[in-house]
């Protein structure tokens, strides 16, 4: 009788709690912020983009002022954001790829799946964190590029104002586009599980193939050019007369919507393969 009573009164310990999505977010946030490559890639995105924008505007200010005075439509005011095109886009995309590919390279993905077997939640958590972080840093970078690039342009009396048509949309759109590129890289990282392969294929699609497809004659070439990820998504970052060509490019928000749909399709395919393949 006394044995039964003692057993009944013994402490049973804390109840088991099933990890929720908030726990997955916390875990992925811890991994993301403690990896050195995240810090240095974001520093490169910000400092590299701002410096390149300033250098481009310093070098091009004289010619830009002459083209503006002559009414040349190719003298587009989005010159102030060109650093994002040359540095920011690459950095954002590479960060997205490395967020998952390095886990496969080091074998850390097996530990992640042991702690959290619900794989889709891992993918969604990574995508949300990447999008938020890169948007915040990308938006700050876009404003830095805008103000730094304006210094040499204002010295030539051809500065760009946020109140000019499309400029504020282009600045905020740059943050959105960089966030989308990071998630695009994450999706390809899940698909290929190889850092070099995913980086090479993605950058080729954005910077090389996206331009080459317009060499295909007829409406097929024009359509392919419009829907390529870099061409469609990048429209939201651009402003100026040279970009107002409905036959060649989507409208800014239409193009960005097409780009986001492409990213979502890749994420869904990546989620399906992530569920079915071994770590």
Which tokens belong to 133?
Answer: 């972080």
**Which pTM was predicted?**
0.89
Of residues 105, 261, 263, 124, the one with CA closest to residue 192: 105
For residue range 174-202, list pLDDT tens digits in order: 999 999 999 999 999 999 988 999 999 99
Of residues 241, 243, 213, the one with CA closest to residue 227: 213
**Max Cα separation, the chain?**
102
- Residue 177: which residues within 8 A CB-CB, separation 6 or more? 89, 138, 233, 234, 236, 237, 256, 259
Q: Which residue is listed with tokens 């990820």?
A: 229
Separation of alpha carbons 153 and 170, rounded Å:
18
Mean pLDDT for 8-18 is: 50
Of residues 39, 180, 38, 45, the one with CA closest to residue 102: 38
pLDDT at 268 over 90: yes
Pair 193, 102: CB distance under 8 Å: no
Domain locations in the chain as residue ranges: 20-276
Separation of alpha carbons 48 and 37, rounded Å:
15
Q: What is the pLDDT of residue 8?
A: 45
Pair 64, 91: CB distance under 8 Å: no
Mean pLDDT for 214-222 is: 89
For residue range 98-156, list pLDDT tens digits in order: 999 888 888 788 877 777 778 888 899 999 999 999 999 999 999 999 999 999 999 99
pLDDT at 2 over 50: no
Q: What is the pLDDT of residue 235?
A: 93
The mean pLDDT of the chain is 87
Pair 109, 200: CB distance under 8 Å: no
pLDDT at 5 over 50: no
Which tokens belong to 82?
Answer: 């060109």
For residue range 42-90, list pLDDT tens digits in order: 999 999 999 999 999 999 999 989 888 887 777 788 899 999 988 999 9
Which tokens belong to 161?
Answer: 């104002």
pLDDT at 30 over 90: no
């Amino acid at each position: 009788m006394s044995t039964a009573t003692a057993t009944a009164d013994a402490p049973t310990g804390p109840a088991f709690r099933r990890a929720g999505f908030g726990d997955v977010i916390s875990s992925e946030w811890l991994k993301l912020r403690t990896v050195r490559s995240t810090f240095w890639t974001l520093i490169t995105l910000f400092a590299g983009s701002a410096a390149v924008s300033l250098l481009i505007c310093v070098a091009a200010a004289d010619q830009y002022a002459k083209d503006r005075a002559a009414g040349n439509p190719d003298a587009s005011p989005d010159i102030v954001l060109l650093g994002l095109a040359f540095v920011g886009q690459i950095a954002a995309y590479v960060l997205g790829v490395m967020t998952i590919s390095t886990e496969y390279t080091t074998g850390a993905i097996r530990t992640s799946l042991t702690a959290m077997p619900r794989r889709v939640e891992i993918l969604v958590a990574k995508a949300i964190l990447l999008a938020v972080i890169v948007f915040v840093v990308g938006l700050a970078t876009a404003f830095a590029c805008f103000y730094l690039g304006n210094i040499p342009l204002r010295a030539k009396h051809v500065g760009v104002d946020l109140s000019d048509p499309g400029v504020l949309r282009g600045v905020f759109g740059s943050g959105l586009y960089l966030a989308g590129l990071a998630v695009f890289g994450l999706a390809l990282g899940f698909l290929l599980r190889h850092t070099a392969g995913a980086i090479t294929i993605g950058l080729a699609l954005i910077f090389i193939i996206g331009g080459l497809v317009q060499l295909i004659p007829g409406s097929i070439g024009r359509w392919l050019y419009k829907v390529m990820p870099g061409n469609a998504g990048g429209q939201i970052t651009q402003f100026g007369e040279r970009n107002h060509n409905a036959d060649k490019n989507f409208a800014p928000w239409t193009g960005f919507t097409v780009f986001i749909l492409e990213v979502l399709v890749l994420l869904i395919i990546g989620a399906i393969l992530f569920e079915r393949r071994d770590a």
